[in-house]
């Protein structure tokens, strides 16, 4: 019998995530056979029925590569992140949520209490006159039922455990995943730990196919639905908020090629610790007026500025979250 070369042990896990990252792994299509030829999938809840106890039973360092997608929103996300870290040689923060907090991270504009109040009491489709909230523990005759604790803060994976590589994107570009995976398989020289991989240091404008000038004077901010795009002018010059200048390349211009402005999922280039404020500063210079009242009116046209400028990056940004008011005794 032909001696098989040793396979890598691969795990894919989701924290606070939409599931898109897990599905994106399948976007490798027929290349999945290359992956399977080189790896045992030891843990992948979306596709395999592996139990937590199976992971706990693995020796430390048993898993070669974990692709952890999703942010850390509750105690279960944190527990599994720490468990997988212990069992894994190369921990990859896979996708925007694990990298920067992602869309779930926008919940940091509210407190945990506000979110529960909205979801379980005040939402239009809810009737909960007794104001019953989920509890982390509930005793019934048969024993104790538990739920994970819902935290105030959404955190990135890197804020909870040591991360070896960050693979950005919502979801990451599949080709980049394959490149990284094959590099690990072939034991090629890998970048230093803590690096962002599968992306470049340049902003999106670098190779953006659209025409741009140094004279952006925006009189009206619009939503994509309000513009008949000419298909070739810089989105910002058409009054559309494009996060391109504040966002790394690597995605292959998927949105821009589809005539949609960049949403910022690849996160900021290195040395830019707060992409939201960076982009707001830049946008501020593009407002086409010198009159304070007119400027205020123009800026008011930006729908949901916090959610727009920090769409994927809030927990990782300096801003991090809404201020929690505390009373000092």
- Residues forming the site for other proteins (CB under 8 A): 201-206, 212-216, 244-246, 249, 268-273, 275, 278-279, 281-282, 284-286, 318
Nearer to other proteins, 141 or 271 (CB): 271
Q: Between 6 and 271, name the residue whose CB sits nearer to other proteins.
A: 271
C-beta of 70 vs 276, nearer to other proteins: 276
DSSP state of 325: P
Adjacent-strand bridge partners of 65: 10, 90
Query: With respect to other proteins, which residue has the nearer C-beta, 28 or 286?
Result: 286
DSSP state at residue 204: G
Shortest Cβ 96–other proteins spacing (Å): 18
Write the DSSP symbol of residue 191: P
Measured from the CB atom, the residue of 21 and 283 that comes closer to other proteins is: 283
CB of 211 to other proteins, least distance (A): 12
Name the burial class of residue 312, with classes exposed (0-12), middle (13-18) and buried (19+) by CB atoms within 10 angstroms of its CB: buried
DSSP code per residue over 275-293: HHHHHHHHHHHHB--S-HH
Cα separation of 19 and 326, whole Å? 35
Minimum separation from the CB atom of position 160 to other proteins (A): 21
C-alpha to C-alpha distance for 206 and 104, rounded to whole angstroms: 29
Nearer Cβ to other proteins (198/275)? 275
Cα–Cα distance measured from residue 106 to residue 311, given in angstroms and rounded to the nearest whole number? 7
CB of 188 to other proteins, least distance (A): 22
Q: How far is the CB of 265 from other proteins (least distance, A)?
A: 16
The three-point CA angle 42-45-49 to 5° equals 75
Query: How far is 217 from 245, CA to CA, in rounded Å?
Result: 16
Contact 295, 217 (CB under 8 A): no
Closest approach of other proteins to the CB of residue 283, in Å: 8
């Amino acid at each position: 019998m032909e001696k098989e070369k040793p396979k890598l042990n691969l795990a894919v896990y989701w924290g606070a995530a939409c599931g898109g990252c897990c599905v994106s792994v399948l976007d490798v299509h027929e290349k999945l056979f290359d992956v399977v030829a080189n790896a045992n999938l030891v843990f992948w809840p979306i596709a395999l029925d592996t139990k937590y106890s199976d992971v706990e039973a693995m020796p430390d360092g048993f898993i070669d590569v974990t692709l952890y997608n999703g942010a850390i929103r509750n105690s279960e996300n944190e527990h599994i992140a720490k468990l997988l870290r212990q069992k894994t040689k190369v921990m990859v923060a896979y996708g925007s949520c694990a990298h920067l907090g992602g869309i779930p991270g926008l919940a940091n504009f509210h407190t945990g209490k506000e979110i529960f109040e909205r979801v379980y009491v005040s939402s239009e489709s809810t009737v909960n006159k007794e104001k019953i909230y989920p509890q982390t523990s509930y005793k019934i005759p048969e024993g104790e039922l538990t739920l994970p604790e819902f935290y105030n803060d959404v955190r990135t994976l890197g804020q909870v455990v040591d991360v070896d590589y960050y693979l950005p994107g919502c979801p990451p570009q599949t080709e980049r995943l394959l490149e990284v995976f094959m590099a690990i398989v072939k034991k090629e020289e890998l970048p230093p730990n803590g690096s962002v991989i599968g992306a470049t240091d340049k902003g999106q404008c670098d190779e953006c196919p659209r025409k741009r000038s140094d004279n952006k004077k925006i009189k009206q901010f619009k939503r994509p639905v309000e513009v008949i795009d000419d298909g070739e002018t810089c989105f910002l010059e058409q009054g559309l908020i494009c996060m391109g200048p504040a966002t790394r390349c690597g995605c292959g211009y998927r949105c821009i090629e589809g005539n949609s402005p960049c949403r910022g999922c690849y996160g900021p280039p290195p040395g830019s610790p707060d992409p939201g404020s960076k982009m707001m500063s830049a946008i501020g210079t593009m407002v086409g007026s010198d009159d304070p009242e007119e400027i205020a009116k123009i800026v008011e046209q930006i729908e949901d500025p916090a959610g727009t400028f920090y769409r994927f990056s809030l927990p990782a940004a300096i801003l991090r979250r809404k201020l929690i008011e505390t009373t000092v005794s």
